[in-house]
A and B are shown apart, each in its own frame.
Chain A
Amino acid sequence: MSKTPEPSVAATLARNRMGVPSIVFWVVSGAAVLTVIAGPVTTAYQVTGFKGIPIAYLILLGILAVFGAGFVAMSRHVVNAGAFYSYVMQGLGRPAGVAAAAVAVVAYSMMEIGLLGGFGAIAQTILYVAGGIDVSWIWLALAGWALVAFLGSRGVTANGRVLAVLLALELGTVIVYDAVLLAHPAHGHYDLAPLSPASLNAAGGIAVFCGLLASYVPIEASVAFAEEAKRKAVARGYYWALGITGVLFAVSSWALPVATGANRIQASAVGNGNELMFNLVLPYLGQTFVDAGHVFFLTSLLAGSLGFHGIVSRYLFALGRERVGPPRFGRLKPNGAPAAASRSLSLVVLASLFVCYQLHADPAVTLLFRLTVVAGFGILLLMAATSVAVAVFFRGTREENAWRRILAPSLATLLLAMVAGGTVTQFPTMLAVGPGDVRGWAFPASFGLVALVGLAHALYLRARKPHVYAAIGLGASVPTAPADIEVEVPPGGLADGQWRLDATVQGHRR
């Protein structure tokens, strides 16, 4: 059509695909560092007094770097690269894949519930401190829920422009806060103990790993863009995003004990609650900067909740398309939103918030901290299963080098299993219950139960709906031939055959 040389398909597609900067920005801003530090990390200091959070973040960074080698390599070979369960399915088989999908849906839903509860708690504190208004957290959490439900059913995700700007501002704010805190160490010296592996040797410490792991979840999003990203951008994006977020988490979580003195971090957290970081920077930055921080804290709790809502909605959408879940979940609205999945999820989240309120759960401690730690344990199991799947997937092939094929996945599995084992033994401490208390092991065990339910469902599909079973894991590539739809013969009693359309093509304009 034009006289200039036509671009090739590859060149055109590459031009439209996401590059490393977009992926990194998406992931780093989605990590919501200020929210993580002022929220669950502060609560972790308060409840457990565990000083080793900074070094734990760095160790997790290392584990995720090893995990990433195999994970990113496999993303080049799988369809539906955006979901852990897809890797498990293509490496370990369909029943394991469905089990993994069930665990993922439950774990990510817990994250959404935890963040909404946290939103209610933080909003309650801010309203009270700033305006003297006393509103119960549940009403504020419900307001947040309504907004997430509305935006979720419209297909709005955290990479919309307005949210992207807010998250970027939040990132800038936390960097300023860190600089201020690190410039004013308590007693004038920098305590490096929180950065030392020796601090890990504390009661309840390992269990906190899971909560910190949940902070890294946006990293998974980098491979969600695998089909939409330039060829090498996924790997580079993953490692750059991992490195930047990991260092930010470590530095920011270290800045708090630096400012309070490492031995006083728990007492300070108890005394200030989630206002700790803001109260520490207030003398140096003034009220306006602190107010801005509060606003970003709240908006990114909502953005995080919306983000997890989007992840679960898309999981349910992919499962619905494959008929593993209800088929109506597999439908998109004209705005591109998996609205049916989103609405059902919103109802479940609403019921959960209500139940937590009835049980008098403390929203900051139980929802924002403990529930996200439990969710993190589920994500940990998913990642361990994914590592195993990567190793099995590449078995007998030479498409990738030995490090990516077998060494890195095996090492990652081992490390993640160690963290999982340590978590299970120390859960009672983290929950502040006695060693024999059922709550100490019920939460980790619940994921085992969820996986079994998923497994049973897959076996049911294999027995009763083999055509559905065969299509599991093909993701967006699943053809939608309605093998099991019966057509009513309309009134008029037309003979069979009159319905058939021309198999030959006329093709010319009438």
Chain B
Amino acid sequence: MLADDFFRLTHNDATGKPRVSKRVLSIGLAGALLGELVGLQLLDVQDVLVLQNDWMPADEIQRWMIGHLRREHYLPTRDWLAFFADAAYTQVGDRLAKNGHVEARKIGLPWNRRRSYFPVNMNTAAAPEAILKTKLRRVATGYPDDFGYEDTCLAGLVMAVGLEDWLLYDAPTPGAGQYLTWAVSELYPPMLRLIEHTKAAVAGLALAYRA
């Protein structure tokens, strides 16, 4: 699932520590969750979100999101991102825990306990990062077919939360960076717009001193 892979990518595979601030991470996760609906062609993304088609997916989080989207129509995409960001971390974390990828633990000071998720197996935690970075390296050697739709969505969201340099760290730059930027721009338009909204939401946090 897009959000599961995004979660694993944005956390250190050994310590489970997030690579970005909690607020930015939450916005990115919300974008990834909405991206799952876009991928199922259940959602169109403009400046507002518009539900498409009438069937319910099997996943619990997706069903929950569609329930909200059905109740309140045509709200701005930015508002939906902020809304889903509120619960995105625990929801995606719980989904990963259910599939055995992470375990949930309560951490923090006694008056400020919060649920946090830690990788169960370093190898599986690192898998999305390894796969994506390997594919980026292969781009320069001429194997673009490996870099598919989901990979591009994942890369686009990861860049939207400010992890572009980290993603491209050992890729053959500037070729890989340019390719990624172009590839994202060629994405299925609703997904591209969703990534742009996510990036704008993150920038908005920075401008309001809340990133």
Contacts and interface: CB of A to CB of B under 8 A. Distances in A.
Given A9-B68, A490-B142, A501-B183, A476 B207 contact: yes
A502 B186 CA distance: 9
A482 B182 contact: yes
B79 A503 contact: no
Interface stretch (A201-209, A329-337, A419-427): A329-337
Contact of B187 (A159, A333, A501): A501
Of B1, B75, B178, B207, the most chain A CB neighbours within 10 A belong to: B207
Interface stretch (B17-25, B101-109, B111-119, B121-129): B17-25
A338 interface: yes
Contacts of A225: 208-209
Contact of A9 (B64, B83, B144): B83
A155 B162 CA distance: 13
Interface residues of B, number: 67
Interface in B35-67: 38-41, 60-61, 64, 67
Interface in B60-94: 60-61, 64, 67-68, 71-72, 75, 79-80, 82-83, 86, 91
A481 B208 contact: no
A500 interface: yes
Contact of B149 (A155, A488, A501, A509): A501
A336 B207 contact: no
Contacts of A103: none
Interface string A321-358: 10000000001111111100000000000000000000
A224 B148 contact: no
Interface string B13-31: 0000001110110000000
A322 to B, nearest CB: 11
Contacts of B207: 80, 82-83, 224, 314, 317-318, 475-476
A132 interface: no
Contact of B200 (A9, A477, A491, A506): A477
B186 A501 contact: yes
Given A331-B164, A487-B182, A492 B196 contact: no
A321 B203 contact: yes
A334 B19 contact: yes
Given A314-B206, A334-B162, A501-B187, A9 B24 contact: no
Contacts of B164: 331
A482 B181 contact: yes
Contacts of B97: none
Contacts of A509: 1
Nearest to B72: A9
B135 interface: no
Contact of A332 (B38, B72, B162, B179): B162
Contacts of B186: 499-501
B100 interface: no
Nearest to A82: B207
B163 interface: yes
Contacts of B175: 488, 490
A336 B185 contact: no
B68 A334 contact: no
B203 A228 contact: no
Nearest to A481: B185
A447 B40 CA distance: 54
A288 interface: no
B202 interface: yes
Interface in A269-305: none
Given A331-B164, A332-B203, A333-B162, A503 B188 contact: yes
B204 A332 contact: no
B97 to A, nearest CB: 15
B209 A159 contact: yes
B206 A338 contact: yes
Contact of B20 (A80, A334, A338, A491): A334
A314 B205 CA distance: 11
Contact of A13 (B24, B79, B200, B210): B79
A491 B148 contact: no
A378 interface: no
A299 B204 CA distance: 28
Interface in A134-160: 155, 157, 159
A505 B37 CA distance: 11
A502 B148 contact: yes
B140 interface: yes
B8 interface: no
B131 to A, nearest CB: 12
B120 interface: no
Given A488-B175, A498-B144, A476 B149 contact: no
A320 B79 CA distance: 25
A31 to B, nearest CB: 16
B3 interface: no
Given A9-B68, A503-B188, A490 B140 contact: yes
Interface string B158-200: 0001111110000000010011011101111001110010011
12 contacts: A1-B60, A1-B91, A16-B82, A331-B162, A331-B164, A335-B20, A479-B193, A480-B199, A485-B182, A490-B140, A494-B142, A499-B183
Given A83-B207, A480-B196, A499-B144, 4 more contacts: A479-B196, A491-B141, A502-B148, A505-B188
Q: What 9 A-B pairs are tightest by C-beta distance, nearest first?
A: A492-B142, A336-B211, A476-B203, A332-B162, A476-B204, A507-B39, A479-B196, A487-B182, A9-B83
